[in-house]
A and B are shown apart, each in its own frame.
Chain A
Amino acid sequence: MNSSIVLSITTFVYAFSAFWFIAAWVFGKTVFGRLATWTVILGVCGNTLGIVLRWLESYRLGFGHAPLSNLYESLVFFAWTIAVLYLIIEKKYQNQTIGVVAAPLAFLAMAYASLSPHISDKIQPLLPALKSNWLIAHVMTCFVGYAAFAIAFGLSGMYLLKQRQTDDGGSLLSHLPDTGVLDELTHQMVMFGFLFLTVGIITGAVWANSAWGRYWGWDPKETWSLITWFVYATLLHARLMRGWHGKRIAFLSIVGFLAVLFTYFGVNYLPGLHSYGAMGQ
């Protein structure tokens, strides 16, 4: 049994859970809902096992390091965080509808990690610049933040759909939580994500300061995470203004998540080089 196999199976488990969530939503049957939740739990177990195995494998290869060092590993961790966050929310708010968004997101992250030809799942040793505990803290906190923003994004999408619902509107929309709850949950998720993104940016800065002697260098990746931070800070303050609840907040949360995606994937396509580990040659 190796981590790749376990993680591939996990991908399918998440796909199943997404299926059950959608079925539960469409048919309104609690059986499907319960199946969905158990499948997510199974997925989280597989995901955890995969991460732990990968960690052990890296030690067996002789250069052990936490499995958070490249795009593949971070996507796997991202999926794990989304699923775990979902389970916490379900427990706390006794509401399953968010699973309709969370489970497909977890599945997509895993599928993208395993299937994209640009992403290598090889376990590789670390470049000197990446050997830092700050870096582990940095990657973990950033991805917890991103996962919370992903769920907020899903909630905002639901909000916008629900908000357009007319009285005779589709029964699918009537299964969604009402807009007040969606708005409140979005806010909770954004606050949670903002705290973690803040810690993520800060640990990144501390790492940069210990590796390069400056805590901030306006590198594109850094800058994009700051842009993301600005967008969510805007959201938090916009809520304080009259008339800015609901729709506009949902819109800002979607813009924020697009910024997250760009920070994560888009930056690699920008001109110039990102100094991530590209030092000392």
Chain B
Amino acid sequence: MAKENGASNLFDDIWDFFSSVKLTVVVLLSLAATSIIGTLVPQNEDPAMYYQAFGEVWYRVFHVLDIFDMYHSWWFQFLLLLLTANVTVCSIDRLSATWKIVFAKTPAFQADRFQRLPRKEEFFSDRSREKLESILRPVVAGSFSYSTVDKTDKNTFIFGEKGRWTRLGVYAVHLSVILLLLGGLIGSIFGFDGFVTIPEGESVGSVQVRNGNTAIPLGFEIRCDDFSVSFYDSGMPKEYRSSLTLLEGGRTVIKKDIIVNDPLRYKGINLFQSSYGVLSPQEITVNFESLESGMNYKKTIKLGEQTDIPEGLGKFVIRDYASRYSFRGQDVGEVFFGVLVQENQAPTEILIPLRFPGFDKMRKGRVAVSVQKYIPRYYTGLQVTKDPGVWVVYSGFILLIVGCFITFFMSHQSVCVQIAGSGNKSKITVSGYSNKNKLGMQQKVAHLSKKLQGVVKDAPALSQSEDPS
């Protein structure tokens, strides 16, 4: 581009650089290519693991380039910034021209632009120009939002136009890209992503941030009243459910059950069901079988609570619980550890696997102990997030979809119906163009021409109103 000299020169060069589509292609391809790296090298792992996997030299190189957290690295953020600048400058650069077209009061039509089109549809009629104009004008006006008539000595032109506003679609797309990046930025500055585990019956007031050591106070307390998990017959998990109560200053503000895909949202903070685990159980129903009398005695006790066994068989206490235990190299699942104290004997450690009720009989003591059932005590794992940018991102989503649809499947279309001739012999030429999808426009023009031809044929026959000359 030729330019005048001066201080504005440098600015113009920079402007041109940032408004060029070539830069877009380069940046988009760079983003695509570099994004691959982060899918090959697992992100945000323990540094020791990387050190082991790559060796010292590569570890250092990768570390300097932030490869281990590349999507948040300075150079990746720089590419995103470049994209934003590019799309902003480019849009501003083109908007004024588009604006003039879209919001022109009276769109300008140039007959010769239509005449230069390579494909036109033609048909003939033995009606006068005036008559044809009066027949065809309403048809054009009916399918185009704007229409006008222009007359010269030999020709009458009916112009029709619609979809001018669709030219703004691509600006919606580009604005949406800016919104997405902006929303992401807002989220990373003002939001957090944390995690917390809460045993049933207990409550917490702050959460641990992921990838960091800070605890963030929430401003309210989360109490987990209950957790339950259900399974399909095949053993696959079916549903995880936490009953939560939110408390502010000791007062209940919300109660809700959350399951995966149905979180609890309060004051901009979202609580998601994320994981769970089993803590030591609370109430345990124990069965004592006396081998002398053959009697069974059931007792419900708590962990660490001592109980007397009938028939003077001694005292028993459950000391501990494990969700998994290996007995002589074999996994026996959930177990309890008990201690049996009998008169004149040293206390005996007793292993009680839940799955094998007859296990303790093998000890061949005077009493065999088994656990019949217990109420498990779970803890729930919640993902706790706050992202004030999410609504910006979601607006971007909507704008992106709507904008793409408009840009891809709608267009600014103009047609021209030229009526040439004098007296009762007229030639009608239909042509048109659109700002995209030329192939589709040709079909539309052919379709319009057929329609007009039909209308002309079906119009009342040359009648009284027609001037016969």
B-binding residues in A (CB < 8 A): 63, 124-125, 127-129, 131-132, 181, 184, 188, 191-192, 194-195, 198-199, 202, 205-207, 209-216, 218, 220, 223-224, 226-227, 230-231, 233-234, 237-238, 240-241, 259, 267, 270-272, 279-281
Contact = CB atoms under 8 A, between A and B. Distances in A.
Interface in B185-216: 193
Contacts of A128: 237-240, 259-261, 273
Contacts of B383: 212-213
Q: State the 9 A-B residue pairs at the shortest beta-carbon distance, nearest first.
A: A272-B42, A230-B32, A213-B385, A128-B260, A220-B39, A191-B408, A213-B272, A234-B28, A202-B397
Interface of B: 21-22, 24-25, 28-29, 31-32, 35-36, 38-43, 71, 184, 193, 232, 234, 236-240, 259-263, 270, 272-276, 383-385, 387, 390, 393-394, 397, 400-401, 404-405, 408-409, 437-439
24 contacts: A63-B232, A125-B236, A128-B238, A128-B240, A181-B439, A191-B409, A192-B408, A195-B405, A198-B400, A198-B401, A210-B262, A210-B263, A213-B384, A215-B390, A218-B43, A224-B39, A227-B36, A231-B28, A237-B24, A272-B42, A280-B240, A280-B273, A280-B274, A281-B237
Contact of A195 (B236, B240, B404): B404
A206 B42 CA distance: 24
Contacts of B439: 181, 184
Contact of A214 (B35, B385, B397, B408): B385
Contact of B38 (A192, A218, A259): A218
Q: Is the interface of A mostly helix, strand, loop or mixed?
A: helix
Given A234-B32, A270-B39, A272-B42, 17 more contacts: A127-B237, A188-B437, A195-B405, A212-B274, A213-B383, A213-B385, A223-B35, A223-B39, A227-B36, A233-B28, A234-B24, A238-B25, A241-B21, A271-B40, A279-B275, A280-B240, A281-B275
Contact of A206 (B236, B397, B438): B397
Contacts of B184: 216
Contacts, number: 126
Given A213-B270, A215-B393, A271-B40, A230 B408 contact: no
Residue among A207, A267, A280 having the largest count of chain B Cβ atoms under 10 Å: A280
Contact of A210 (B22, B28, B41, B261): B261
A230 B236 contact: no
A279 B229 CA distance: 14
A269 to B, nearest CB: 11
B193 A214 contact: yes
A233 to B, nearest CB: 5
A280 B32 contact: no
Contacts of B275: 279-281
Contacts of A280: 237, 240, 260, 273-276
Contact of B35 (A216, A227, A270): A227
A209 B38 contact: no
A102 to B, nearest CB: 19
Given A202-B397, A213-B383, A267 B260 contact: no
Contacts of A211: 260-261, 272
Contacts of A129: 260-261
A131 B40 contact: no
Residue among B42, B383, B390, B408 having the largest count of chain A Cβ atoms under 10 Å: B408
A234 B193 CA distance: 33
Given A125-B232, A131-B261, A195-B404, A227 B274 contact: no
Nearest to A187: B437
B32 A270 contact: no
B390 A218 contact: no
B357 to A, nearest CB: 28
Nearest to A210: B261
A237 B404 contact: no
Contacts of B38: 218, 223
Contact of A234 (B29, B232, B273, B409): B29
Contacts of B397: 202, 205-206
Contacts of B260: 128-129, 131, 211, 279-280
Nearest to A194: B404
Contacts of A241: 21-22, 25
A70 B61 CA distance: 39
A213 B193 contact: yes
A202 B401 contact: yes
Contacts of A279: 260, 274-275
Residue among B42, B238, B240, B260 having the largest count of chain A Cβ atoms under 10 Å: B260
Contacts of B276: 280
Nearest to A199: B401
